[in-house]
Amino acid sequence: MGTVLTEKEQKDYLLSRINESVNFTYPEPPYDFEGTLKDRFVEKSGEDDYVTYWNIIDLIEFKGENEDWLRVTYYRYKKKAIPPKKRTGWVFAGQTSLSNPMSQFEELFIRAIKEKQWMRTLFREILKQCPDLK
């Protein structure tokens, strides 16, 4: 087994992907999107003896699109192999993650906040913790 990356090395690796290419392929109908990872937010979300989980919010610029996209996803960093698989290292775990143009995220959250009390509560609590936002 190779050397296990420290938490800082894991985070640094995930952030190092900024400005790298991003490709999406959708099977029905066949759509292919090529773009660039413009920015990324990374937050460790959990860990056990075998794996570290990383939540990710990506800002992506796709060729031919008139606005940036967000992707909310996660990665797993496998520290130990669990039989029968002998693989360690990075696993992109968000193959079906939410990825949409920014305007669709805005619409989604506005509609959810208007319709669901628990979404209003969530956003109120978030904004309470960010008093400098205007």
pLDDT at 45 over 60: yes
pLDDT at 67: 97
pLDDT digits (tens, 9 = 90+) for 57-102: 999 999 999 999 999 999 999 988 777 777 788 888 877 788 999 9
- What are the residues facing 108 on neighbouring strands? none
Domain ranges of the chain: 7-100
Report yes or no: 109 and 86 within 8 Å, Cβ to Cβ: no
The structure tokens 């952030």 sit at 15
DSSP code of 133?
-
Write down how long the chain is. 134
Query: What's the predicted TM-score (pTM) here?
Result: 0.87
- In whole angstroms, give the CA distance from residue 51 to residue 78: 4
Higher pLDDT, 90 or 111: 111
Report yes or no: 121 and 87 within 8 Å, Cβ to Cβ: no
Higher pLDDT, 88 or 5: 5
pLDDT at 34: 93
Report yes or no: 44 and 16 within 8 Å, Cβ to Cβ: no
pLDDT digits (tens, 9 = 90+) for 117-127: 999 999 999 99
- What mean pLDDT do residues 2-15 have? 91
pLDDT at 18: 98
- In whole angstroms, give the CA distance from residue 111 to residue 125: 18
| DSSP letter string, 66-104 | SS-EEEEEEEEEESS--TT----EEEE--TT-EEEEHHH
